[in-house]
Amino acid sequence: MSEMTTYAPGTPCWIDLGTPDQDAAAEFYGGLFGWSVEEDENAEQTGGYRVATLKEGAVGGVMKLMQEGQPPAWMTYVSVEDADATTAKARESGGTVMVEPMDVLDYGRMAILSDPTGAVFGLWQPGRNIGAGRVNEPGAFCWSEISTRDPEAARSFYSDVFGWSLEDKEFEGVGTYTTINVDGKAVGGLVDITGRVPDEVPAHWLVYFGTDDADEAAAKARELGGQVSFGPQDIPGVGRFAVLQDPFGAAFAVIAPNQAM
């Protein structure tokens, strides 16, 4: 399904990019995915926040970096019924609250947390905005993956906070991969990055975007000033993917699935 009208609690529902240059980011991602990136109708009240759209549906946000030394990065937001209660549960479970729950006009209520392994993510309690209006198609958000060096601590934390069901699967050439399930549906993943990425890369949530051709997307990203960090590589039974960086170093992935998204 490409068009979304609601998200089950515990489902990744929105993504946004923190970047030092919104105009350059809009040019890069517009060229790569065909996005239109426009200022929010209430930009003065939202710090110049911009919304990326694809086929007139919202697919993510682009915001200015808020603090000195903050690295450019994509962030995933998980839909919740009560941001305050979930924040309290996350704190009790060993997480760190980076931004306390706050209203974003009448759009919804948000908080920013980090799990005990250091991966940063957001909570979104929907108001007028449910999250992304288009997902699971070329150029749109289709998957989020927790990348950590302490998978057991991450599993315990997220299971406590969101009630996720976690399922381990073995993939040839990849090893063990854990899928995150909500109401019996896979909504994301968790992977042990020990020895797979440089030690200086911290635990993080990696955002995936759909594409028709991962090799073509990687080449286009290079052409637009980005970099290819990994791949493209096949995942048997799943598809072909690559991990990329935009011109400012924000990491993301693209995947061309074997089956329709």
Cis preceding linkage at 232, omega within 30? yes
Query: What is the structure's pLDDT at 173?
Result: 66
Distance, CA of 89 to CA of 33 (rounded, Å) = 37
Q: Name all domains of the chain by residue range, CATH numbers in brackets.
A: 12-126 (3.10.180.10), 141-257 (3.10.180.10)
Query: What is the structure's pLDDT at 108?
Result: 97
Query: What is the structure's pLDDT at 13?
Result: 98
Cβ within 8 Å of residue 145, ≥6 positions away: 188, 189, 190, 191, 205, 206, 208, 253
Q: How far is CA 166 from CA 39, 87, 178, 181, 195, in A?
A: 38, 21, 6, 6, 22
Contact at 8 Å (CB) between 89 and 160?
Answer: yes
Query: What is the structure's pLDDT at 238?
Result: 87
Q: What is the pLDDT along the chain (261 residues), one digit of tens a residue?
A: 589 999 999 999 999 999 999 999 999 999 999 999 988 777 777 788 999 999 989 999 999 998 888 899 999 999 999 999 999 999 999 999 999 999 999 999 999 999 999 999 999 999 999 999 999 999 999 999 999 999 999 999 999 999 999 999 887 766 789 999 999 999 999 999 998 889 999 999 999 999 999 999 999 999 999 999 998 999 888 899 999 999 999 999 999 998 655
